[in-house]
Structure 1
Amino acid sequence: MDDLDQRAAMSLGPLAKGETARFFAASRLEGIDCLSATFRTHVYPPHMHETYVVGTIESGWEKVSALGMKGRAGPGDLVFVMPQDVHDGAPAEGGYSYRMTYPAEEFLRDLAEAVSRRPAPAAPFFRSPVVHDPEGARLFSAAHEALESGVDGLAGEELMLRAYARAFVLHAGVPPAPAGEEAGPVHRVRDLIEARYAEDLSLAELAAVAGFSRDHLIRVFRRSVGITPHAYVVDVRVRRAQDRLRAGRAPAEVAAEVGFADQAHLTRAFKARIGVAPAAYRRAVAA
């Protein structure tokens, strides 16, 4: 059998009506390839990757053969395929929609070392190709969707690292290092965010200020502050938006000034934290 990668396997036949497939690269995560797709009739022949395959089924069911096992994956399941392992895939019961990533072995080994804070003798080994983990699946879907939309780069970067790290601990036996409060580094990150909240900050930049890996920063910051670095950025932006709205500024102008992609992006974050839309808030409190 000739080796096939994912793109080659997909190119063996045209997509049927109602099927979609989109590849994109997660630029902040070393260019990891990502796929979002819906398949009704498309069947993958046996193929393999030089990378891992990590993803989740969002709706429907997929028949999967991998690691010598045959089974089905559906909503709430995470899917793991190791590098160079032959696997296939076919729709069951009307098809399925899924989100997949293809991280390189070196990337996941480095991330696993960051999670455990000790050298990893090998890249993580996932014990089963399909595991039922609804919370992990929801986290992965949110991360993948954020990366695909490109609206908030820090959100996608942070969510996907959290999703991978959670999978390591629960499904690959990687022991997490304890995360203390470590006040000094956390304060430096908070100060940077307070000063540059309107910029398109990256998790790598915040981690460098703290002197931590990206994964360790997420865990330490969350333990110390109560929310993740990305959530803190959004909170600061909302607070600075409140200042401008109280001065009578228009929500569309405010959104751009404080770092949101557009007024709709501001409105979602503002309502989630304040309880009303920015325009309603301005009418109520503007001087």
Structure 2
Amino acid sequence: MGCRLRYLKGMQPQSTAFTTLEDAAERGDAVRFWREQRYDGLECLSAVFRRHRYVPHTHETYAIAAVLDGCEAFHHRGARHYVSPGSFAVVCPDELHDGEPADDGFVYRVLYPTIDLMRSVAEDAFGRPVPGTPWFDHSVVDDADLAGELVKLQIALTDPEVTLLERDARLGRFFSAMLGRWGGLGEPIKLGHESGPLTKARDYLDQHFDRDVALDELAQVAGLNRSHLVRSFRKAMGTTPHAYLLDRRYRAARRLLAAGEGPAEVAAACGFCDQSHLNRVFKARMGVTPGAFRAQ
């Protein structure tokens, strides 16, 4: 099986340590590893491998890997597989596998979710418990949209400007899509008429726009599960809870700036991570910077 030696369009890593194979030619292998304790200790890996070869091994977790550039080869379930841009590899817990560059190397991002995290997402999105270990039949999944979402999710987890609402929603959306499309769980819970719960959620965001509200917290206020809340909110409001929260921060910032408050003080008061974050959000909605708006 051949590999498509191209870069996944629009998915360039933001870290200068992990770029294309061409950019990394003089540096060789480069690796970054971290854990997201918020998501049951979700382990994350971002790497460029030109020489490194994994020996056969297993994980207690899943290993879900999207290649951005180049091609990775690995043995899994008695066969040799190749994963390249536009697809991603899936290894279930306790499955023996290895990995190595198929050609000149590869750039990839990996998520290692626990079984408990997968079960939690499945129960939340599909409304029923999943006994045992959620399973995926394919070693390599040809799904460019989901491969791109994996990369976006990993980037969002380390971006200080991304709210908890967006991180939580992205994580739930990615894993529920995986479980539905490729794990045999089908369609998520159907939406109904949730005007009362959504009014509670919207009012809560109106009152707490200056805080980093988590999706669990908002779902509890609304009386809906996380996945149902995000989908219902988008259907009713035409936007996500995260985008609604940013819009409320912008509107509050506009009022304070018009009253003469300085941009730095406004950024802190309205829940932005810093003044630069305020500048980007404000200009995207107003067309001018906070400083220019205040001066007029």
**Code of the aligned partner of 2:159:** S
- Mark the runs of 5 or more structure 1 residues left unpaired by the alignment: 1-15
Q: Provide the residue aligned with 1:223 in structure 2.
A: 235
Amino acid in structure 2 at the alignment position of 1:168: L
Q: Describe how 1:91-102 pairs up with structure 2 within 5 A.
A: 91-102=101-112
Q: 1:51 aligns with which of 58, 61, 67?
A: 61
The 2-side partners of 1:109 and 1:115 are apart by 10
For the 8 Å contact 1:140–1:159, the answer to whether it is kept is no
Deviation readout 1:234-280 (Å, 9 max, x if unpaired): 11111212222222333222222111111222222233333333333
Change (3 A) 1:278 1:134: farther
Contact 1:54/1:100 (<8 A) preserved: yes
Listed as ranges, the matches of 1:96-135 within 5 Å are: 96-135=106-145
Find the residue that maps to 1:90 and give its secondary structure.
strand
Aligned in 2, Cα 1:37/1:248: closer, same or farther, shift over 3 Å? same
Measured against aligned partners, the alpha-carbon deviations of 1:125-172 in whole angstroms (never above 9, x if no partner) come to: 112121122221222211111112344341222211111111111111
1:202-217 paired onto structure 2 within 5 Å: 202-217=214-229
Partner of 2:17: none
Structure 2 CA distance for aligned equivalents of residues 237 and 217 of structure 1: 21
Which one-letter code corresponds to 1:26 in the other structure? E
Aligned to 1:201: 213
Q: CA deviation at 1:40?
A: 1.6
Distance apart, 1:52 and its partner CA:
1.0
TM-score (norm 1): 0.86
RMSD: 2.0
Counterpart residue identity of residue 246, structure 1: A
**Length-normalised TM-score, structure 2:** 0.84
Instruction: Find the residue that maps to 2:80 and give its secondary structure.
Output: strand
Work out whether residues 147 and 153 of structure 1, in 8 Å CA contact, stay in contact via their aligned partners in 2.
Answer: no
CA contact (8 A) 2:163 2:242 kept: no
State the match for 1:156 in structure 2: 167
1:41–1:91 Cα contact (<8 Å) kept = yes
**Structure 2: any 5+ residue segments left out of the alignment?**
1-25
**Which residue type is aligned with residue 91 of structure 2?**
V
Match of 1:185 among 197, 200, 206: 197
1:248 correspondence with 2:260: yes
Aligned to 2:176: 165
Aligned partner of residue 126 in structure 1, secondary structure: coil
Aligned length: 269
For the pair 1:282 / 2:272, whether they are aligned, the reply is no
